[in-house]
Amino acid sequence: MPSEKMLTVKDAILEALFEEMARDDRVCIIGEDVGVAGGVFGQTKGLFEKFGEARVVDTPISEPAIFGMTVGAAMAGLRPVVEVMFGDFITLVMDQLVNQAAKIHYMSAGGYTVPLVLRTAVGVGGNLGPQHSQSFHAWVAHVPGLKVVMPQSPADAKGLMKAAIRDNNPVVFIEDRTTYNVKGPIPDGDVIVPLGKANVVREGRDVTIVAVSRMVQIATKAADILAGEGIAVEIVDPRCIVPLDRETILASVRKTSRALVLDAGHLDYGITGEIAAIISEQAFDYLDAPVARLAAPNVLIPCNTALEPLIVPNEQQIAQKIREMLNA
């Protein structure tokens, strides 16, 4: 498309923020270093200058109350995008997220809505170590009442952020730092990517990979390797893990008869187990091999250049797993 422009994931999200703040003056940004500093990754750059201190609010380092106040602010009529700088720090806001934000709409029988976006950066890479590399997407996905979004491409990141801001529920928007500089085309105009609708990123007949966020990009590399061996991989990116588009996943597996589920988070009690169970329960008769999984081992993430690369499954491991599935 000639009208499309190229942006990185980080700038695509920033463009969504600019557009949504201009569209609706209830949208504001709250967090540590989001204003004058423009974000620790430059992810809010220019918003303070354009919208001012009443719309872009720098806070002290007080995650529990920052987030709790965002919940109250949303109940009273704002539509805040609150930033938790690193995904690891979501542990600090868990009480207000789980016991307040997720429950207020239900407990008030619809009397209050809590329209907020908690955006946070996760990602293994750069030797940031065990307190700056974790992703708790499975943990928050386990809480009824929250939505959980995990974009991978610039177009999705922008369209999903716009949808998240317009959603009337608390949405946890998880950005993988390692995707921030990935460039891609952005469609012109006010394009929304609806929450809960998967994207078939790549079509193929032999095996289905289900992956979100950066794992889609690693899976694509594996699919390229396997294409050279005559193996056609289909990649389904749910884009949101809550709500999860089960139908698109199941339709793909019914077509290919094999499924590999990937995650950059830990294997044990993580999203790969959940998605594998859904496939096993609802597409068992179509399967030619057991549902396979690859995810981070259940260990903490070392701050070490020799060990850190062992955490997230790589394209070679994914390709090898698929060869084994096809030969089984």
Partner 1 sequence: MARAKAVKSQKAVPNKAAGSPLALYRTMATIRAFEETVQRLFLGGHIPGLVHLYMGQEAVAAGVIAELAQTDFIGSHHRGHGHCVAKGGDLDKLFAELLGKRAGYGLGRGGSMHIFDPANGNLGTTGIVGGSVPLAAGAALTAKLRKTGQVAVSFFGDGVLNQGIMFEAMNMAAIWQLPVLFVCENNGFGEFTSIDDVTAGKDIADRGKAFAIPSEHVDGMDVLAVQKAARTAVARARDGKGPSFLICSTWRFSGHHVGDKQDYKEDAETKAWRKRDPIAQLARKLVAKKQATQKQLDAIADEAKSAVTKAAEAARKLESPTPADLMEHLYAE
Residue 78 Cβ, how far from partner 1 at the closest point, in Å? 5
Q: Which is nearer to partner 1, 84 or 264 (CB)?
A: 84
Q: Which is nearer to partner 1, 60 or 230 (CB)?
A: 60
Q: Which is nearer to partner 1, 100 or 135 (CB)?
A: 100
Residue 107 Cβ, how far from partner 1 at the closest point, in Å? 4
Residue 289 Cβ, how far from partner 1 at the closest point, in Å? 35
Q: Which is nearer to partner 1, 71 or 193 (CB)?
A: 71
Residue 236 Cβ, how far from partner 1 at the closest point, in Å? 23
Give the count of alpha carbons within 13 A of 116, CB side only: 36
Q: Which is nearer to partner 1, 4 or 95 (CB)?
A: 95
Q: Which is nearer to partner 1, 23 or 205 (CB)?
A: 23
Other C-beta atoms lying within 10 Å of the C-beta of residue 77: 9
Residue 10 Cβ, how far from partner 1 at the closest point, in Å? 26
Give contact residues for partner 1 (rule: CB under 8 A). Answer: 23-26, 28, 54-55, 57, 59-60, 62, 64-78, 95-96, 99-100, 103-115, 144-145, 147, 168-169
Residue type, 37: A
- The alpha carbon of 272 is separated from its chain's Cα centroid by a whole number of angstroms, namely 14
Task: Indicate which residues carry an active-site annotation.
Answer: 63, 132
Residue 157 Cβ, how far from partner 1 at the closest point, in Å? 22
Give the count of alpha carbons within 13 A of 119, CB side only: 30
